[in-house]
Amino acid sequence: MTAEARLREQMCLLAKSMFDRGLTGGSTGNLSARTPDGGLLVSPTGTSFGRLDPGRLSRFDAQGRLIDGDPPTKEMPLHSAFYETRSTAGAVVHLHSCHSVALSMMPDVDADNFLPPLTPYAIMKLGRVKLLPFFLPGDPAMGQAVRGLAGKRSAVMLANHGPVVAGKDIEAACNAIEELEDTARLAMMTRGMAPRSLTDAEVRALVTKFDVEWDA
């Protein structure tokens, strides 16, 4: 099996795992990953994470031309913006996960640091998450908003819509976006209960020890 064939299988396996656990439903969500030759594999438009076909993934060459497979997700501007601004991005995942969307609707959320510091793991895997305003699905302005961050964030939350995370590879991106949803779930579960968050000193210790992108 070639490296690209293995990547195709891995993308579909991870997507189905997230679908089966209710992290995105119906035909929502999309993901992409760099191929060994510098191109992209992308989930097609209108497809379900539970039923992706490795042979029908949208295939782009290194110049960004669609060369094989079904038409890609309409959220391509989001994916392209991360690849163009973050040299370390090897994959991008976008979900419509319920708890993170619910948290994005809360009026007191910090737009520059969307997730409260409840556990170490979201800090380690995501750094600070930027909350972006609401855009119509597929609006190229979403990509422009990501480009406006100049590559300084690996994850954004689209208000009333869903999270988008870039990682070094498809497994890392999926692990990180699941951590984002888990932290948002904790935040909603403990809302109004005054939970003990990590202190500024504890956050700084994590940032230093694990070399987290944080101050940008």
Which sequence positions are flagged as catalytic?
Answer: 75, 121
Give the Cα separation of 175 and 165 in Å (integer): 10
CA–centroid distance for 123 within its chain? 14
Q: List all residues 6 or more positions away from 26 whose beta carbon is below 8 Å from its beta carbon.
A: 48
Give the Cα separation of 54 and 7 in Å (integer): 9
Closest CA to 61 of 38, 32, 90: 38
Phi-psi region of 12 (alpha: psi -120 to 50; beta: other; left: phi over 0): alpha
Q: How far apart are the first and last CA of the chain?
A: 41
* Tokens 């991005």 -> residue: 89
Tell me whether strands 91-94 and 40-42 are parallel, antiparallel or unpaired: unpaired
